[in-house]
Amino acid sequence: MAHYLTADTHFADDPVRRFFARPFPSTAAMDAAMIARAAHITGNDDLWILGDFAACETEAGRAAACAAFSALPGRKHLIRGNHDPDWLASACPWASVHDLYELDTGRQRLVLCHYPLLTWNGVRTGTINAFGHVHTRWRGARGQVNVGVDQWSFRPVTPDEAEVAALSMPAPPVSNLVDGMAAEEDW
């Protein structure tokens, strides 16, 4: 079993395709490419979708969301984002649905959230914050990584890839609120 991370797929979302200048002639082409680039994932693998799964405002968008869900391989987990309406959690057979999740792969620990966090559980001990939400605007800071499709050629990434990217990022301007703070045991 392997884990894969992605975010901001926005299946069937033509305004997002155009706004972020995604390199596809149509949403159908965009959706097909993202599904094809996830084809290596097996039924025993976990695909963690860190929010903004699909355009869900219309009946057509809802149908597209369900079709994309069915076409994607693996056990799918949703970390809710700002464009994931309540009905989406029950409309598809997600393996799990969370607002934030702490994932331990046995090799890495990651805090999964749609939004980039200023600080998180395990920030001092190497836990990585994987996020989406900001699309092309920010790749992350040391210890954090944007796993959104706009940053990763419209494909899911492994925790190993996320870790390498997170550790190569520049230090955050506030050092994740830990520089100069007393140790927790001193509180």
Q: What residues contact residue 8 under an 8 Å CB cut-off, 6+ apart? A: 16, 50, 51, 52, 81, 132, 133, 135, 148, 149, 150
Are 112 and 120 contacting, i.e. CB atoms less than 8 angstroms apart? no
On whether residue 79 sits in a domain, the answer given is yes
Query: Which pTM does this prediction carry?
Result: 0.90
In a domain, 57, yes or no: yes
Task: With respect to residue 173, please indicate whether it lies within any of the assigned structural domains.
Answer: no
Q: Considering the domain boundaries, does residue 186 fall inside one? A: no
**pLDDT, position 181:** 47
Do the domain assignments include residue 187? no
Q: Beta strand 109-113 with 100-104: parallel, antiparallel or unpaired?
A: antiparallel
CA distance 59 to 45: 30
Instruction: Answer yes or no: is 18 within a domain.
Output: yes
Residue 113, helix vs strand vs coil: strand
CA distance 147 to 152: 7
pLDDT in tens, the chain (187 residues): 999 999 999 999 999 999 999 999 999 999 999 999 999 999 999 999 999 999 877 888 889 889 999 999 999 999 999 999 888 998 899 999 999 999 999 999 999 999 999 999 999 999 999 999 998 878 888 999 999 999 999 999 999 999 999 999 888 766 555 554 444 444 3
Domain range for 94 is: 3-168
Residue 185 included in any domain: no
Residue 140 lies in a domain: yes
Q: How many CA atoms lie within 13 A of 58 on its CB side?
A: 7
> How many domains does the structure of the chain reveal?
1
- Domain with residue 20: its CATH number is 3.60.21.10
Neighbours of 119 (CB within 10 A): 16
